[in-house]
Amino acid sequence: MSKTLLEQLREITTVVADTGDIEAIKLVKPQDATTNPSLITAAAQLPQYQPIVDEVLLDAKKKLGDDASDADVANLAFKHLAVAFGKRILEIIPGRVSTEVDARLSYNTDATLQQAREIIAQYKEQGVSKERILVKIASTWEGIKAAEILEKEGIHCNLTLLFGLHQAIACAEAGVTLISPFVGRILDWYKKSTGKDYVGADDPGVQSVTKIYTYYKKFGYKTVVMGASFRNIGEIQELAGCDLLTISPNLLHELEAKTGDLPRKLDPETAKQQEVEKLTIDKAKFEEMHAADPMAHDKLKEGIEGFSAALENLEKLLAKRLTELGASQEKETVGAH
């Protein structure tokens, strides 16, 4: 019986599930899982996760007391919801979960530090060790500087919304645990700007991750690369051998349904043989390279705006649910009399 593409991939790459859907994670049995504001917002709207949402809301109400406004209760619940999902996910995976800092803090080092520490404290309260958490932070200069401080405190970070080599080098220099370069979003940008389609090794997202992986292995950085945001399994096949790949459940099922040969494309020994120029990235160099890369510039900005909008939707969703809970509790009180 020939092996599936997913079985072969698991032999050379750590497979991570990119979803907030707990049932989907149970089915695909990944090592780790990643969530983001859009994924948590989507999961929070599924009827099977309503009890998690309700529990977090009622807990927030209890903490703040009956006099607290609905807005304050929804805001506190919002800060705890990603951790509530993360804790459930950790009950079914052996590895780590990535939980994201509020995207609206992406350009504020101090606020990012404060929230990252809060996330770790919330997990600790739930009996979860910080070794099982990756705090997810956008790869702005300010985010990378926050991650550098957090790593020294023993808090592991996953730097996300990463599109350019300058971001990747700054992350490695800062000693972050893991980066998530976004393959599919890079492809989206090039398809839109050139009107062309790209397949296989010609995919600019694949090329970007290959370049970053090669740079890291060539210069012996400890930071690991986790390719993310895939549009098709072709992109995943081109990155077989990458340290980790975080993949949506539908693409994991597609890999599981296919057999055939999956050759290793990324290999540390091959990377070490490549001719690569070593760069030094300070703030000025980072900003200069970022401005010179319209794709990275556009996609970072768009990603932060997109995640921020998802968070605003989630806040509205929680406020609406709180009103519904209040109304049903009132009904029960009236019924009891």
243, 240, 253, 252: which is closest to 216 by C-alpha?
243
Task: Please give the Cα distance from 34 to 97 (Å, whole number).
Answer: 6
Residue 241 has which token pair?
A: 């051998």
User: Which residues are registered as beta bridge partners of 226?
Assistant: 244
Q: What is the DSSP letter of 201?
A: G
Residue 167 has which token pair?
A: 């971001």
Strands 133-138 and 32-34: unpaired
Catalytic residues: 136
Helices (H) and strands (E) counted in the chain, each on its own, are 15, 8
3-state helix, strand, coil in the chain (%, to 5): 60, 10, 25
Identity of the amino acid at 59 = D
235, 232, 233, 243: which is closest to 266 by C-alpha?
243
Three-state secondary structure readout of 313-326 = HHHHHHHHHHHHHH
250, 238, 244, 235: which is closest to 180 by C-alpha?
244
Return the C-alpha torsion angle 5, 10, 14, 20, nearest 10.
60
Q: What is the DSSP letter of 105?
A: G
User: Which residues are registered as beta bridge partners of 138?
Assistant: 160
Q: Are residues 288 and 296 in contact, defined by beta-carbon separation less than 8 angstroms?
A: no
